[in-house]
Amino acid sequence: MPELKPDFDLVLNRTTHVSTDRVWKAWTTPELLKQWFTPKPWRTADCAMDLRPGGRFWTLMESPEGDQFSGEGCILEVVPERRLVWTSALGADFRPNPSGTDSMLFTAFIEMEPEGTGTRYKVTLLHAEADGKTKHEAMGFESGWGAAFEQLVELMSR
């Protein structure tokens, strides 16, 4: 587990009846991820995931009006059905992403473990500074990542 800095970091905890292997599958299968990763009414128009340390994790989000937001990232750690770590600070092959003055760069720890037949789910975002946390919170971290997870649960419950 990463060492948390309360002023810098964001944590989301959820539980679901969806089994851990299915939560993992939803996170690591691009065709599934595209169906839940972006809260409606936006959608994930495209996605690439090379599931290994140094592999690219890229998403293209799109609004109903056709506005697009491209997110370049890099997979850092893969522990099947337990833990997926990725960062927006790097891209494919661990290459640094152009950062400009973007204080919102983050590293995401996606953690899951079985609870009964369901799953205990936790998202932790580490930022470089307090400003990154504040901006991410203002953009709706809890509602955004929470809504996305509800979409995952709905999808994997079908």
H-helix or E-strand spanning residue 59: strand 56-62
Which is closer to a copy of itself, CB of 51 or CB of 92?
92
Quickly list H helices, the chain.
20-28, 30-33, 130-138, 141-157
Which is closer to a copy of itself, CB of 27 or CB of 109?
109
How far is residue 150's CA from residue 107's CA, in Å, rounded to a whole number? 22
Residue 6 contacts a copy of itself per CB under 8 A: no
Of the listed pieces 33-41, 57-65, 100-108, 142-150, which binds a copy of itself according to CB under 8 A? 100-108
Q: Amino acid identity, residue 122?
A: K
Residue 92 contacts a copy of itself per CB under 8 A: yes
DSSP letter at 2 equals: P
Residue 136 contacts a copy of itself per CB under 8 A: no
Which is closer to a copy of itself, CB of 32 or CB of 130?
130
